[in-house]
A = this chain, B = another copy of it.
């Protein structure tokens, strides 16, 4: 968050209704749930509340800080699927059998520009930040680095870690495997995770470039969002186990995926004609490095946060030191020229705007720092219930659209 916060003059938080108007500097990439169904909560309130929850669930103060920041940053960026709606799942995992609240992260290997960490079954966020910190230190010495992590859990948005390198002026790369949801090309069942790849690139001024994409045609969070909004899913996202393409009611389709009767298609879609072998090949390659080479689980073996055994998720973090190749100032001048060229391309008539990777997320973040994060009332109430179960007295105000301050 630091990188973003520094660039931002915190606006007034109180009394702002739902607005999304780019011309007055307000923009949200993800439509908030229809008015009346959400409340606006400030970043600070939501983060400190989330922090308290994780401390009560057993995390150290420092680890809780990282997990809370990663989740609330996702909400700020408009990636609510990876935001505080994951809190219950994480807390269930922490209180259940298989997420270790007090992991002893071990540096298993540390040779030259590479390292391997064992996360000891803890959540992926704290170990992810540690791993990227090591990657940055090593890249400053060796020019490039690669740090793998095994025996981890869900780590939230891949871009969070890429930005940690960007904050230090380096190019950051972050990938992870994840529980099976996606079909491998020419097959019909869930075998690959949505295995995202994030690449962050510094710019002289924010926003930095932040490419952060699942290697599936859509992340599962998008189908979850459609389900919540009552929208229909178009043909080309989801494959039934009989080989047919599913479309229609997002709730039904989400159910089919969760029950293992359907799979999300890889980027490039069904078969090879539009590149389904590319998307599933990329997901497979990410799993080979983050899963197979790290010593973590891979493919069908990657577990879930609330599963009956440690999820054994694997991550990979890389950093590239720009100064090893050219002065940062020269790199900045070149990247700004490239961006200028992209921005002045002829826009497609049906497109709203020409966006850089990460630009929508950044504008959404600036907006939500000003007017608060839209939190679905059901999620808000769920968080309060989690708090109550943990004997926490604090609670979020879920009953009106005036953001708590």
Contacts and interface: CB of A to CB of B under 8 A. Distances in A.
A270 to B, nearest CB: 8
B353 A191 contact: no
Contacts of A243: 348-350
A267 to B, nearest CB: 5
Contact of A146 (B268, B320, B342, B352): B320
Given A111-B324, A144-B318, A201-B285, 16 more contacts: A109-B325, A111-B143, A112-B113, A113-B113, A113-B144, A142-B142, A144-B144, A171-B293, A184-B342, A189-B346, A213-B275, A243-B348, A267-B267, A293-B320, A295-B325, A299-B338
A331 interface: yes
Contacts of A215: 278
A355 interface: yes
A298 interface: yes
B347 A187 contact: yes
When A and B form their complex, which 3 residue pairs have the shortest distance between CB atoms, in order from nearest?
A114-B143, A186-B351, A112-B142
A376 interface: no
Interface string A354-391: 11010000000000000000000000000000000000
Chain A, interface size: which category? 35 or more
Interface of A: 109, 111-114, 116, 141-146, 148, 171, 184-189, 191, 197, 199, 201, 209, 211, 213, 215, 217-218, 234, 236-237, 241-243, 267-271, 273-275, 277-279, 281-282, 284-285, 287-289, 292-295, 298-300, 318, 320-322, 324-326, 331, 334-335, 338, 341-342, 345-355, 357
Given A144-B113, A218-B275, A325-B116, A355 B186 contact: yes
Contacts of A114: 142-144, 320-321, 324-325
Given A111-B143, A293-B325, A293-B331, A345 B184 contact: yes
Contact of A322 (B112, B284, B293, B348): B293
Copies in the complex: 2
Contacts of A351: 185-187, 271
Contact of A217 (B218, B274, B284, B354): B274
A211 B142 contact: no
Contacts of A197: 282
Contacts of A331: 292-293
Residue from the set A143, A185, A357 with the largest chain B CB neighbour count within 10 Å: A143
A152 to B, nearest CB: 15
Contact of A271 (B275, B292, B324, B348): B348
Given A116-B325, A357-B284, A279 B298 contact: no
A326 B295 contact: yes
A273 B241 CA distance: 23
A326 B292 CA distance: 10
Contacts of A321: 114
A211 B267 contact: no
B288 A335 contact: yes
B191 A335 contact: no
